[in-house]
Structure 1
Amino acid sequence: MDFAPSAVADDYTKRMRAFLDESILPAEAEYDAWREERRGTPAEHDLPPVVETLKAEARERGLWNLFLPAESGLSNLEYAPVAEVTGWSPVIAPEVINCQAPDTGNMETLHLFGTAEQKQDWLTPLLAGEIRSAFAMTEPAVASSDATNITTSIRRDGDDYVINGTKWWISGASDPRCQIFIVMGKTDPEASAHRQQSMILVPRDTPGLTITRPLPVFGYQDQHGHCEIELDDVRVPASNLLGEEGGGFAIAQARLGPGRIHHCMRLIGMAERALDAMVRRANDRVAFGKPLAAQGVVQEQIAESRIEIEQARLLVLKTAYLIDEVGARGAASEIAAIKVICPRMACGVIDRAIQVHGGGGVSDDFPLAYAYAWARALRLADGPDEVHLRSVARQEVKSRS
């Protein structure tokens, strides 16, 4: 396996880094100030105008839809270092190049399973960055880490489907630009466990779909929101079904594979920014007569962080290579492994950076507190650690049977 970046990957990565340094990082203060002024108001989830400005600049720089090989021509291995750079500014950078979750997973799903009409109605405006979307699978009443538990019903009624259920942690739902939901529910509770579920497209303005409340993550309200929603006799045309009845579980697996590795790529960038902040702080601060960087305990924290980042990066690159070579199914064990390792690694590195920053580290004067909250949440999003550890263990046992 050769992980040296290709000429194409090197070019995109350099251009992404220049965009980050010249435009995105300087825009963070404006983004935060705009949102702070609207906190607790009806405009809390509106988009700061600077994002649209940066989106236009990204397109001018040729940095758009890089996550989807069919659009960008980049392999997963080539996209990895670009996505890592976006992890330095996880709130802004992915969105301004149209590579943000959950839209990337939804676009991939529509690309793979959508009809021509579904693609025209929803994939085209998503690829253009004109709208946003949400993916509704997780439910509050069941352990949704086992998708066979979901209770939302999708019942055929003539030429329509009628949907009833409650979903939560539906990322993106608060954003006024979110125009389409991909909803997972049961069409046949009597079928075998993995053929009960289906996925269906529900436009935001469909009667009966109610956004109950946005859910904060460790007290943070993201601009796009993570919401609880109610589906009360929501009626949509049968043509809104994605794929076939009973295909929802297979679609979910296809959707989550690439989404998981994209999160891991960005987590490496988040950890790199935390390590950079840690080293800068350690060089600038003096305690007990010498810089923190000269203190043995801080040196150990810096060294441990560098080692852990490099280990995680290599496994992510191997996984990206395998997805390119044998597909997400063939790389399932590696995808599960990085989904455990990368959030854990990022939490550890960010935690050390917080410690070196002292009281400032837990404040909003630095990006570390938010970064930690997001990294910790990713130990649950797209499947908790325990599910992925179970997958890795099963594959390990099977390979020796």
Structure 2
Amino acid sequence: MKLQRTLAPTSAPLSLSNLIGSLPGLIGGRKYRERLIRELEAKFQARGVFLVSSGKAALVVVLKALAASSRRRRVIIPAYTCFSVPSAIVRAGLEVVLCDVNPRTLDFDFEELERLLSEDILCVLPTHLFGLPADVRRVVQLCRTRDIAVVEDAAQALGGGSEKGLVGTEGDVAFFSLGRGKNLTSGTGGIIVTKSPTLADAIHAEYSKLPAASFGETCRNWAELVLMRAFIRPTWYWLPSGLPFLGLGETKFYTDFPVCRMDEVRACQLVGWDRRLAKANTDRAACAGKLIMGLNQGFNGLQPITHPDGVYLRLPVLLRDRVAKHEACARSQKYGAGVSSSYPTTIQDIPELAGRITDRTCPGAQEVVERLVTLPTHEFVTESDRVKIWRVLGVSEPRSRNTGARSAPVDQCSSG
């Protein structure tokens, strides 16, 4: 544990007024939940909006709704993605099918995806990983003639999109996460949206079976938000990040997560969500743009993965090789730069899935595991933090505005 300014890999804005303003939900906040649903219906032009306890829970509900009227049981997902995705598929009683990814986009290897599509596939999950929009339209074109549903995994991309359409509106159904560190947070929480009346009815049938969140869980989530708001700041993040038992940044596979309805406190905490989300995404995109500019000026075998409509929950960057990744992450930990290795393995190599997935190779996903790091883009990243991040990655540019001198070498990174 080292007392120094330390950036979290990701962080969601949360004001004190939002936190205090959520307390009326403890004594009856149904109106806040109903208003939030109406606002989301208008935003996504949806025929159905459902609020649940997490992004994982949202995916479980969606999958059970799809499976209720089909004998198909196989779900195609990227071979490199958040471990929560296969955990939700297993929780729903379905089978995980992996499709390799293109390391330059983190989207599907579409040639392989087309080969995997068959009559026993229930749905395909294009994933907007790190806030980079996936090519959902291409997935839809491949799936339509085979009567395969398209479920947008937009857990990390709420508010993303362009004039062509919002992320979460091109597939049959989409889900978002409101977890800590996401583009918008209520501590935990998930959103399901669909434009299909038929699918909305099927999801409602599953949603109606869900229990309400317990009072204890609601209070615990609120208390965790209080602690998060205090310790996510760079001045204090060194403390929780230095306590191994907290497991911050660890990626785990587990299926015993709660699947219930969102409580009124979370819904109340999301008052003004659209404005907050727009500002957070604008700030992230601007920060990512500055980081990308510096990386491009100081090219050192670095390949930022970008998209013109990305909202950049984190900025993904491919380094030269596994050794370069290991060295950069070690320097980041030393100097508190917030550079993260992200997911530690492909989905294929999750121990808990041994025997559940067809044994095959996914070279694109494996390359991502070996080379990818993510850079923080959240509101706490300052100009001096960006310089620190560039140094951690071995970038000697950009030059100083005042002197034209190159940045200091990595071993001179400030610890303050």
TM-score band (shorter)?
Answer: under 0.3
Q: TM-score, normalised by structure 2?
A: 0.24
Q: TM-score, normalised by structure 1?
A: 0.24
Larger helix percent: 1
Structure with higher RCO (Cα < 8 A, 6+ apart): 2
